[in-house]
Chains A and B, each alone.
Chain A
Amino acid sequence: DQQVKQNSPSLSVQEGRISILNCDYTNSMFDYFLWYKKYPAEGPTFLISISSIKDKNEDGRFTVFLNKSAKHLSLHIVPSQPGDSAVYFCAASPPAYSGAGSYQLTFGKGTKLSVIP
């Protein structure tokens, strides 16, 4: 049972336009969400995160939106640049104090973003 879903395996966007990557989750216990960026043959690097007490978090060209009622989050990249071409993973976790056993992230399968010059 996939608790974090990224339904688009790939996305192509023109340079300078907006990239929107989507993520849905099913576990209502999740309250913290992260986006990671991964280049081939490298480890993922942290991009941006959002807590469930917020509905938006912005960092430069990257903005994450959270819609708790819909259990949906999205990552917006504006403007998109060729260097943004990578696989983007959405990840989620329950509260650390939830007693769910331990802290661990649940990842989606990733979306491969291609930014075309």
Chain B
Amino acid sequence: DGGITQSPKYLFRKEGQNVTLSCEQNLNHDAMYWYRQDPGQGLRLIYYSQIVNDFQKGDIAEGYSVSREKKESFPLTVTSAQKNPTAFYLCASMEGWDRGLLGYTFGSGTRLTVV
């Protein structure tokens, strides 16, 4: 079955450490997105990528970095510069940015906790 896989589901990090969240899709989708969910905040866009080797900052990119070396993969690195990294992180993909009527397909999320 096609879908988006986020791993791990739960992640613990010590303060001052970088950590990378994995996102892999086998839907052959062009565009991929990273969102962060905090209680009462809804979904806020961190980074997005429309095509391989290209990505753009979203609304809250500070303290995060991404890469898009393959169409299937869009890993997110939470760096030590992110002041409040504890959150639920969601990865999403979409078939084609110019065929937006389809909306997003989301992964199941990664809960990151800084200890």
Contact = CB atoms under 8 A, between A and B. Distances in A.
Interface in A34-59: 34, 36, 41-46, 49, 51
Contacts of B40: 9, 109
A11 interface: no
A49 B100 contact: no
Contacts, number: 68
Interface residues of A, number: 28
B90 interface: yes
A34 B92 CA distance: 15
Contact of A105 (B9, B103, B111): B103
A26 B52 CA distance: 33
A51 B103 CA distance: 12
A89 interface: yes
For the residues of B in contact with A, the DSSP-based class is strand
B22 to A, nearest CB: 14
8 contacts: A34-B103, A44-B104, A96-B97, A96-B98, A102-B31, A104-B48, A105-B104, A110-B42
Interface of B: 4, 6, 9, 31, 33, 35, 40-43, 45, 48, 50, 56, 58, 88, 90, 92, 94, 97-101, 103-109, 111
Closest 10 CB pairs of A and B: A43-B106, A109-B42, A103-B97, A96-B100, A103-B100, A107-B43, A43-B108, A96-B98, A34-B103, A107-B42
